[in-house]
Amino acid sequence: MNGVAFEQTRTLIDELLLEQQRLTAVERFALRHERDAIPAQAKLYRDLLPTRVPDRGEQYAFAVDLDACSGCKSCVTACHNLNGLDEEETWRSVGLLHGGTEANPFQQTVTTSCHHCVEPACLDGCPVLAYEKDPRTGIVRHLDDQCIGCQYCILKCPYDVPKYSYKRGIVRKCDMCASRLDVGEAPACAQACPNSAISITLVSQSSIRAQALEGIFLPGTPDPAYTQPTTRYLSRRGLPEVLAPADAHALRRAHSHPALVVMLVLTQLSVGAFCVETLLRALFPANLMMQLSAVHSLVALAVGLLALGTSTLHLGRPLAAWRAVIGLRTSWLSREIVIFGLFAGLAMLHATGFWFRPMRAFNSAGLSLAVAITGLLGVFCSVMIYHDTRRAFWRGLPVALKFYGTTALAGTAAVLFVTTLQALCSPSVVAQGAYQELTVFLSKSLVIITALKLAVEATVFRHIWNESSGPLKQTARLLTGELAEITTARFLLGLIGGGVLALAFIMQRPAPGISTLGVTLWIFVFIMGGELLERFLFFVAAVPQRMPGGIDA
Amino acid sequence: MNGLRQWTGPLTQDLVLKPGDFGLGQVPARLKPDATATTVCGFCSTGCGLNVHLRHGEAINLSAAPGHPVNFGMACPKGWEALTPLRATDRATTPLLRNARGELEPVSWEVALGVFVERFKTIQQEHGPDSLAWLGTGQITTEELAFLGALAKMGMGIRHGDGNTRQCMATAVSAYKQSFGFDAPPYSYTDLEESDVLIFIGSNLCVAHPILWQRVLRNRNRPQIIVIDPRKTETAMAATRHYAIRPKSDLILLYGLAHLLIANGWIDDGYISRHTTGFEDFKEFVTRFTPDAVAGETNLSLQQLQGLAEVIHAGQRVSLWWTMGINQGHEATRTAQAIINLALMTGNLGRPGTGANSITGQCNAMGSRLFSNTTNLLGGHDFENSAHREKVARILEMDVSRIPSQESWAYPRIIEEIDSGKIRGLWVVGTNPSHSWIDQQPLNRSLEQLDFLVVQDMFTSSETVQRADLLFPAAGWGEKEGSFINSERRLGHVKKVARAPGQALADFHIFQLLARAWGCEAMFRHWSSPEAVLQILKELSRDQPCDITGIADYADLSAAGGIQWPCPDKTRLRDAAGDRLESDSGLDGRRLFADGRFFHPDGKARFVFEAPRPLPEVPDANFPLLLLTGRGSAAQWHTGTRTEKSAVLRKLCPPAAYIEINPVDAKLLGIAPGACVCVSSRRGSVLCTAFVTSTISRGQVFIPMHYAVANQLTFPAFDPESAQPGYKACAVKVTPVV
């Protein structure tokens, strides 16, 4: 380009860059006469809404015409836009069931959102009563400002409905566009389905309950008896018997919830240490125990408080955590929080009893027992929190064996370590003749508990040979596949800490000293490492129940 | 406990809905618009109206446009998410030039334009007029396509240009041109609602064109819906009957049906004699396609064949619809014409609910077909016709010698000549051949050989941009104005509702700048704005079948919700109040050939046919399975350069490549559901996840084309008439990866 041409081009570039930023649609083409409060879409969705409000014993429910759903997934995006959701946030999803026979292959897309259950598990589990089942409409509504972001509802819902917003630190979910329904507008998804496959109907809660208890809902979905979902999936052509979700074989690790991993293991250590202390007070001379317990209880208390502190890191809105007391009636999470609160209080009283003269009455064996029992109750609540989610990997008995196993193991290892530390620092402890017996007793306990606990944990591997692809098989496949290295590390750490090193300790019966302290420290570190990994796997390998998903690649 | 519960507050407020006015019903209070405007979607050819919610003139949200004559308030996920890709973080915001270190580096527009002109002119001078080419698209506006084609061919003297429409619609173009005398899809979407028999051949409408499926469901005639497709697709599930024919036995099936209809006397002799030529030869030709022979080739039973013929015979209004399953085949044009032949011989053309109807792919494929100045001279004219050249030269006020008198090379030839070294400079506009071209690896090697590769694109991340020497940052759909032409020949207005990032410019503006930088701006002095170009296009279309002289301007298009061609002045039917007529005889919902007059000089349609040829690559012992490709989900668009920018759309499709394989084949090969498999053809090997499903037949596998791996496997077969690639069939083997 020559100079003049260049100059002209420069001017044109500037002009066009300016022109590019001018928006013209409004001044020229804005829809003038459509400043209309009446939704233009209304005539299309009128037939998709009930003609009256629910009577007593009735509620609104989604009805999905499976024959009409062709899998376009517009419902998901319309819900996203018309509800102003965050960029990656969706309240509806579309999965795929497939199967049939060679001669008559079959696929069926399944649109799904909140089922506004008759017995909403999210609501029952919520420690702060942030869920409400509207008595008039039956819509399960989430109170966003009440939520503390504990995400327990996510664990509780078998349909993967509540969604956590990291940005806000709370959960959000579908409310069936309640405010649209209030004024006679259709929910976004129903408005937007090109095939009119989604409608709102009135259902009788008792008939939903009856159907759910008979297991009638949709093939390839969790047992409806649990929450009694109200969505009705209808098909005139019928569904074949052989039908599986497109992602039935997908292995997806669940969230690891690191704060909960630490909180669970440390609360159990704390409770375990108090229990061991209580037990030792019954078995060993009072003189020795008076010395030991003072430190044991202090350490146990410190760990317990640390654990409770850590648990708040799990919350999206920790400052509102106090609200968790109000869900006691239905929520195991509330109960856990309240009982561990009580446990912490009693433990504090008990521990201070050793150190402050005026409080001496509190270092009694009775209070020690009370602390231990409260703690064990707290661990029971922890067990129930997970049992109550109905995830296969979180069935009550195995979880109880794990949690109480950790309680015993971590508590014992901690007490053993602290005792050898005390022995090193204060010769008067050793002077008490029973010291050696006590440490050997603790070590023997470690070996036995480790063996039992690892055996319990290993039982899940048997599901790898299951014929059908159930959640436990998926858990076993995850543990031995994608998570194999962590699983191996978990068992190795346990075997070394609670096996090899503890056995060495028993055989050598070492005298107090820095190397003895080293051994008990390693025992403690290995055992704790193993327990933390066990709890990590506890979360990531717990395959959640969910609605059929799409093709997984 | 209720006292301890917080029922309202800022978090609750986030989701509160309020009446949005403008007929929207409730909208998020945060996103309440102060105006709305209807625009046409920029993904597929359905051409849905989208209601853009504006605040201070800028788009803040979007919903489907109620009452729009195409989509009646519905949209597919891509439409709903149309604004999201505009906000992507990988938008090109400044021109990028490959520096000495081989990296793309930001440069000013002056530098970029200067380099373009200098490099392209040098190549042209050193290597002659065949040494430059461009590859266009069906994704930019008609005005831009015309500008690109006119600027490149007439302004810059670039001889060869083609569009990515070669990959999707070329077959329909060839078929219609030969059969009807013009590239003229005859139907309106209302035909979907008015048929009593709908036959979809190689069309997964539910996934590829969900809003057209909506139109099918509006049909109140309880129609027979026939789907002919090797796979049991979503559409096959929704149909009343599905015929899972052996892949690419479609031509034989269609000839066999013709034979059956003739043999039974189920044809419309009157229509045939009045409006067609060549039937006698065709009748003779199809005698060899006996039911026994056809049943053997297609894997259908005699009863199924007979049943299909009976349905066609019984229908009063039979419409036949096809998409890429037909267009992308090794003998595609003849297959499309075999469909046209069925419509002609049964008199199913020109009446409501009838037609041999090609459903287009891209939002502006038809704009490209008629106005991109590649295969056709602007306005559906013929480069080889001197009267046409003179007409165009007169309207454009340019010397007729600037207009080439020969067609340019088609896409496959352009790629070949890059490989041969004849083409040294390539300009790619709004398309991603590195991903989408059949057997993509040789193409990518060829692109590396170019002296200069210029890419004009919205994003910096596409596979093709990665290979570019120069990138022009383009504004996207929604950031510029213009028109699209949809499948039913409807011109719709696309509005400017968002600001382009940085220094990105509308393709239209880029062409304006290039005209000046190249020194040919005088030729384009009337091309000052898209709307000015629309006026030029109107003149170019005068007296053509695609006459649009009756369209006034963008305001006219916008108010009408789009206007179908032909629209010469005389058809501007309005009632006394000046309102648009909506009846069948009015402006909307018109179909072609109601009078039985076709565009050949004799006014008759032609029966065109040819003996079927075997698949170029058939499965054998080494590569025993037949790979089919196609669309995977309604949330994905082509190579995903836009749809992958939406977090929501990403959730609605499998995140990585997968292959559908029949349970019996999977078991034989030791492939577990969800396992990682290696898929190999003679061209390449790729990794996929196995989706074991009986919806795909034994001996066949399927990979969606949205994943770049698909075209590392495909076999480069081309239809000889249309030069369209046959993406749908190649031989592969699948092995488990341990």
CB B153 within 8 A of CB B425: no
Chain A residues closer than 8 Å to B26 by CB:
39, 82, 177, 179-180, 183, 185
pLDDT of B730 reads: 97
pLDDT of A35 reads: 66
- Which residues make up the CATH 3.40.50.740 domain(s) of chain B? 96-168+364-571
Among chain A residues, the shortest Cα distance to B659 is held by: A553
| Mean pLDDT calculated for residue range B723-727 | 97
- Which residues make up the CATH 3.30.70.20 domain(s) of chain A? 59-245
Of A27, A84, A109, the CB nearest to B30: A84
pLDDT band at B584 (very low <50, low <70, confident <90, very high): very low
Backbone angles phi, psi at B427, to 5 degrees: -125, 115
pLDDT of B553 reads: 93
Name the one residue in this structure whose structure tokens are 């290295």: A485
pLDDT of B575 reads: 43
Predicted confidence (pLDDT) per residue in B604-647, tens digit: 999 999 999 999 999 999 999 999 999 999 999 999 999 999 99
Among chain A residues, the shortest Cα distance to B703 is held by: A553
Q: Which of A70, A167, A196, A243 to mutate to test the interface with B (most CBs of B within 10 A)?
A: A70
CB B83 within 8 A of CB B31: no
Whole-angstrom distance, CA of residue B219 vs CA of residue B223? 7
Q: Report whether pLDDT(B289) > 80.
A: yes
Chain B residues closer than 8 Å to A172 by CB:
15
Chain A residues closer than 8 Å to B64 by CB:
78, 192
pLDDT of B590 reads: 86
pLDDT band at B294 (very low <50, low <70, confident <90, very high): very high
DSSP per residue, A251-292? -------HHHHHHHHHHHHHHHHHHHHHHHHHHS-HHHHHHH
Predicted confidence (pLDDT) per residue in B316-346, tens digit: 999 999 999 999 999 999 999 999 999 999 9
Query: What is the ipTM metric for this complex?
Result: 0.95
Which spans in B264-421 are helix H? 269-275, 279-286, 291-298, 302-314, 324-327, 332-345, 365-371, 386-396, 411-420
Chain A residues closer than 8 Å to B506 by CB:
20
DSSP type of residue B725:
B
- Which residues make up the CATH 1.20.1630.10 domain(s) of chain A? 258-540
pLDDT of B578 reads: 47
3-state secondary structure of B482: strand
pLDDT tens, residue order, chain A (553 aa)? 556 666 777 789 999 999 999 988 777 776 654 567 788 888 889 999 999 999 999 999 999 999 999 999 999 999 999 999 999 999 999 999 999 888 899 999 999 999 999 999 999 999 999 999 999 999 999 999 999 999 999 999 999 999 999 999 999 999 999 999 999 999 999 999 999 999 999 999 999 999 999 999 999 999 999 999 999 999 999 999 889 999 998 888 999 999 999 999 999 999 999 999 999 999 998 888 888 888 999 999 999 999 999 999 999 999 999 999 999 999 999 999 999 999 999 999 998 888 888 878 777 888 999 999 999 999 999 999 999 999 999 999 999 999 999 999 999 999 999 999 999 888 888 877 788 899 999 999 999 999 999 999 999 999 999 888 789 999 999 999 999 999 999 999 999 999 999 999 999 888 888 888 999 999 999 999 999 999 999 999 999 999 999 998 8
Mean pLDDT of chain B: 95
pLDDT of A355 reads: 85
CATH topology for the A59-245 domain? Alpha-Beta Plaits (3.30.70)
Mean pLDDT of chain A: 93
Chain centroid, CA B449 distance in Å: 29
- Does the distance separating the beta carbons of B54 and A25 come in below 8 Å? yes
Name the one residue in this structure whose structure tokens are 């104005």: B481
CB B27 within 8 A of CB B20: yes
Chain B residues closer than 8 Å to A251 by CB:
674
Q: Report whether pLDDT(B434) > 50.
A: yes
CATH number of A258-540: 1.20.1630.10
pLDDT band at B583 (very low <50, low <70, confident <90, very high): very low
pLDDT of B231 reads: 97
Q: Report whether pLDDT(B569) > 80.
A: no
CATH number of B96-168+364-571: 3.40.50.740
Backbone angles phi, psi at A434, to 5 degrees: -80, 0
- Does the distance separating the beta carbons of B58 and A170 come in below 8 Å? no
* A112 contacts: CB under 8 Å, gap ≥ 6: A64, A92, A93, A94, A95, A159, A231, A547, A548
**Domain B2-87 - what CATH class?**
mainly beta
pLDDT of B573 reads: 52
**Domain B625-736 - what CATH class?**
mainly beta
CATH topology for the B186-359 domain? Dimethylsulfoxide Reductase; domain 2 (3.40.228)
Report the b/e string of B367-388 with b at 16+ CB within 10 A: bbbbbbbbbbbbbbbebeeeeb
pLDDT of A5 reads: 64
| CA distance, residue A402 to nearest chain B CA (Å) | 32
pLDDT of B572 reads: 53
pLDDT of A2 reads: 56
Q: Which two tokens stand for residue A7?
A: 């100059």
Name the one residue in this structure whose structure tokens are 């856990």: A336
Predicted confidence (pLDDT) per residue in B667-682, tens digit: 999 999 999 999 999 9
Of A9, A26, A93, the CB nearest to B113: A9
Angle at A297 between CA A295 and CA A302, to 5 degrees: 95
| Mean pLDDT calculated for residue range B720-732 | 97
Torsion sign (Cα): A315, A321, A324, A325: positive
Of A19, A144, A177, the CB nearest to B11: A144
| Mean pLDDT calculated for residue range B459-463 | 95
